[in-house]
Amino acid sequence: MSKQLRVAIIGSGPAGIYAGNILHTKHPEVTIDLFDSLPAPYGLIRYGVAPDHPRIKGIVNSLHEMLNAGSIHFFGNVEFGVDLTLADLREHYHAVIFATGAIKDAELNVPGINLDGSFGAADFVSWYDGHPDVPLTWPLTAQKAAVLGNGNVALDVARVLAKHADDMLKTDIPANVYQGLKASPVTDVHVFGRRGPQQIKFTPIELRELGEVENVDIVVYEEDFGDDWFDEDAEGVTNQHRVMARIMDEWRERELTGASRRLHLHFYHSPVEILGADGKVVGIRFERNRPLADGKVEGTGEHRDFDVQAVYRAIGYFGSELPEVPFDDKLGVIRNVAGRVVDQTGNTVAGLYATGWIKRGPVGLIGHTKSDALETIENLLADIDQLVDPVSTESATAELQARGVRFTNWQGWLKLNEHELALGAADSSHVTRERVKVVSREEQVAISNLKD
């Protein structure tokens, strides 16, 4: 491979960084420019992981090493389709890899979904993670809240809602998030799943930690269980399932402590309608389900109403369409075959590729993201002789400068990182804080562009 390959990657979360790292390893002569709409790198690792899960955020260390090696050039605060168009990128690069992820909430089509007090979990996660494009305040006014979903995001949202704000001080939450959680009057958080406790999508660590939240009682309901509710010898059952079943059984035997807050886990409930009065959420109606032999459920026709003042839907993420890039509106992904972008007729669009959730949908963990990136990069390199040489052999940064775009770079991120760490060290609360996030986009850009 003698071609001096130039590749742009859009999105600096794990998918984009892994793709760049694999590409450089397989083709060391390549020039890789990584663009992100946010001033800081790491995508959902920075803005989609609950702040009280530092172990999950440990992935940042390996992502940092990949970018710090210098083989991938980071440019933040650059919005694709606005600051740089597809035509701009084609002028400067042989290929473009889209790794923009999935950051919107999947839709839930039930009456009342647009009432005041009905929220998408993704927006709430962005708020408590200090995303710069989310308002600084969140309407935490509900005493009782419902969370819809049985995955880790639902559990994160429920835990953050139920947890006392002072217990979050050891994390990197910004001051506005702490103040918002501190003022919350919540007493009860209800998590609802459509299927049974044996089909939960949590991880054992997430589930166990839920029961260790201080001054919060976990409430489960015997009607959702039976003597034979879990068959540990059934096909597909893993050790993880067995651990989670033991945790559930422990909670069934646990006495309530009279804690000031309660987190309720409900199963076999499908949402039918969000109830409102004067335009605000006042409750939610479910149909009770019953299990079928194949692990699926069916409705019983029995309806139940719960008194809540807020509803958070955590039923999955959905990708966002990108300008001039073929998109599947039904699946929420860029149209592609094994990472090669295709048009509506199935024909390959030369020089365009996808990886991560915008390629396969919002499923799978970090291991899937790596293998996903590997497939895309192998196909890109297989196409190398067909890739059209760009007009310019320079980075697109000249275009950004000419347009007055205040982009950030890797050295700028290092400055912002040091600043946030210093804020954590200087915090006057009586806990050890590694960092405190800077929320404002303008402030992030200003700190990143400070002269040495």
Residue type (1 letter), 364: G
Please give the Cα distance from 369 to 24 (Å, whole number).
17
Query: Does pLDDT of 294 surpass 80?
Result: no
What average pLDDT does the segment 412-425 reach?
A: 95
Residue with tokens 């050295």: 411
Give DSSP secondary structure letters for 285-325. EEEEEEE-TTS-EEEEEEEEEE--SEEEE-S-EE----TTS
Question: How far is Cα of residue 33 from the mean position of the Cα atoms in its chain?
Answer: 23
- What average pLDDT does range 420-429 have in this prediction? 86
Quick one: tokens of 380? 């890109």
What pLDDT was estimated at residue 209?
87
Looking at per-residue pLDDT, the higher value among 219 and 362 belongs to: 219
Task: Give the mean model confidence (pLDDT) for residues 205-220.
Answer: 92
Please give the pLDDT value at position 7: 97
Distances in Å between the Cα of 452 and the Cα atoms of 77, 178, 355 are: 20, 32, 36
Tell me, what's the pLDDT at 238?
Answer: 87
At the topology level, CATH places domain 105-317 in FAD/NAD(P)-binding domain (3.50.50)
CA distances to 34, 342, 382, 383 from 376, rounded to whole Å, are 16, 13, 10, 11
Would you place residue 2 in the very low, low, confident or very high pLDDT band (cuts 50, 70, 90)?
Answer: low
Whether residue 452 has pLDDT greater than 80? no
Q: Kindly tell me if the per-residue pLDDT of 428 is higher than 80.
A: no
**Alpha-carbon distance values, 332 to 163, 313, 319 (Å):** 33, 17, 5
Closest C-alpha among 314, 268, 284 to residue 148? 314
pLDDT at 1: 46
Buried b (16+ CB within 10 A) or exposed e, 68-89: eeebbbbbbbbebeebbebebb
C-alpha to C-alpha distance for 328 and 361, rounded to whole angstroms: 11
Percent of the chain with pLDDT over 70: 98
Map residue 370 onto helix, strand or coil.
helix
On average, the pLDDT of the chain sits at 93
Domain ranges of the chain: 6-103+320-448, 105-317
- pLDDT band at residue 293, thresholds of 50, 70 and 90? confident
What mean pLDDT comes out for the span 116-131? 96
What's residue 219's pLDDT? 96
Average pLDDT in the 168-192 region? 95
Q: Per-residue confidence at 198, pLDDT binned at 50, 70, 90?
A: confident
Q: Report whether pLDDT(431) > 90.
A: no
Residue 327 has pLDDT above 90, yes or no: yes
pTM above 0.85, yes or no: yes
Give the DSSP letter of residue 382. Answer: H
Residue 230 has pLDDT above 60, yes or no: yes
Residue 3 is predicted with a pLDDT of 73
Q: What phi, psi does 371 have (nearest 5°)? A: -65, -35
Of 189, 183, 187, the closest CA to residue 138 belongs to 183
pLDDT in tens, 350-393: 999 999 999 999 887 777 889 999 999 999 999 999 999 999 88
DSSP string covering 109-155: --TTTTSBTEEEHHHHHHHHTT-TTS-S------SEEEEE-SSHHHH
**Which helix H or strand E contains 8, and what residues bound it?**
strand 6-10
Q: What does the pLDDT look like over 17-50, one tens digit per residue? A: 999 999 999 999 999 999 999 999 999 899 988 8
Q: Is residue 186 helix, strand or coil? A: coil
Q: Are 308 and 190 in contact (CB under 8 A)?
A: yes
Is the domain defined by 6-103+320-448 classed in CATH 3.90.180.10? no
